[in-house]
Amino acid sequence: MNEQDVLAQEFEQYRTHLNRVAYRMLGSTAEAEDAVQEAWLRLSRSDAAAVKNLGGWLTTVVARVCLDLLRARRARNEELSHDWEIEPIVSIDDSPEDEALLADSVGVALLVVLESLTPAERLAFVLHDMFAVPFDEIAEILERSSDAAKQLASRARRRVRGAAPATDPNRAEQRRLVDAFLAASRGGDFEALVAILHPDAVFRLRGGSLEPVTVHGAEDVARTVLARGSRLAHLARPAIVNGGAGALVGSPDAPFSVVAFGVAEGRIVSLDVMVSPTLG
């Protein structure tokens, strides 16, 4: 093998890690893959022999690429008045290949909160709290002091803890509640829906050409679900969405929407409905 082939082999050892970093930064598998590919292009054009810590170097490059993308997205969304852009990771057959990917994914409810952070806050939180990158390295990426990087991560951490409760990891319990939710939705059973929703449940709908919708409270969420989704409930099928029990509405090849559920304390605490960009 020539030097470029050897370098490509070494890069592949870090690809999964880099995709994890980029997806948490961007919430989009397509953009994450683009960011990782850009890291490879930069590596292939650099003096790789001078890089002492390849994994750290690549993580820094991907983080910088993602930071630029987040800043550009934020400017664009301020013009378009969109709240967040998320591309969920969906599986409908529980294949071993999908399980490996989904087990390492991050919940949609958390991604929603991350979308509300500034690019600098998101980078500091993701790199430090999820990947244990030291603050002095984060500070260098952000071109700020280490103390400033710590403050950014702390501010982000408080917002995440306040808005994204930890989901019960028991997939069977998640599925039981989601199945009950789908059955109640199909049957138009308001009381059954309220019974499986947490009192502080939140419903969020984004995508297509629809106006963003956010509803809080079990009864209001139940009314919204029955008013907006009962006619499509019979098209919903169980799915795994970002590692948790969810639903796919419509054909697997061309779904109307994907629904991610957050489950805690034996009830559904969040429903995030992501409508196909071509619909609405």
d(CA 18, CA 257): 28
d(CA 51, CA 204): 44
Query: Residue 231's pLDDT band (boundaries 50, 70, 90)?
Result: confident
**Residue 245 pLDDT more than 50?**
yes
Cβ contacts of 33 within 8 Å, gap of 6 or more: 19, 22
3-class secondary structure, 40: helix
Single-letter amino acid code for the residue at 91: S
pLDDT at position 267, please? 94
Q: What is the CATH number of domain 3-97+109-163?
A: 1.20.140.160
Report percent pLDDT > 90 for the chain.
52
Among 37-46, 80-89, 176-185, 235-244, name the one with the lowest average pLDDT.
80-89
The predicted-structure confidence for 30-45, as pLDDT tens digits, reads as follows 899 999 999 999 998 8
When pLDDT is averaged across residues 93-100 and rounded to a whole number, the result is 52
pLDDT at position 89, please? 84
**CA-closest candidate to residue 280, choices 117, 82, 89:** 82
**Token pair 């070494």 is at which residue?**
10
d(CA 175, CA 157): 29
When pLDDT is averaged across residues 257-273 and rounded to a whole number, the result is 91
pLDDT at position 193, please? 96
When pLDDT is averaged across residues 211-222 and rounded to a whole number, the result is 93
Query: Residue 69's pLDDT band (boundaries 50, 70, 90)?
Result: very high
Query: Residue 118's pLDDT band (boundaries 50, 70, 90)?
Result: very high
171-275: CATH topology: Nuclear Transport Factor 2; Chain: A, (3.10.450)
3-class secondary structure, 146: helix
**Residue 82 pLDDT more than 60?**
no
> Could you state, in order of their start, the residue ranges of all structural domains in the chain?
3-97+109-163, 171-275
Cβ contacts of 6 within 8 Å, gap of 6 or more: none
**Token pair 């929407």 is at which residue?**
257
Query: Residue 63's pLDDT band (boundaries 50, 70, 90)?
Result: very high
Query: Residue 277's pLDDT band (boundaries 50, 70, 90)?
Result: low
**Residue 145 pLDDT more than 80?**
yes
Spatial contact of 263 and 271, defined as CB atoms under 8 Å apart: no
Among 8-17, 48-57, 121-130, name the one with the lowest average pLDDT.
48-57
- Per the model's pLDDT, the better-predicted residue between 86 and 124 turns out to be 124
The predicted-structure confidence for 173-205, as pLDDT tens digits, reads as follows 999 999 999 999 999 999 999 999 999 999 998
**Residue 202, beta-bridge partner list:** 216, 270
**Residue 279 pLDDT more than 50?**
no
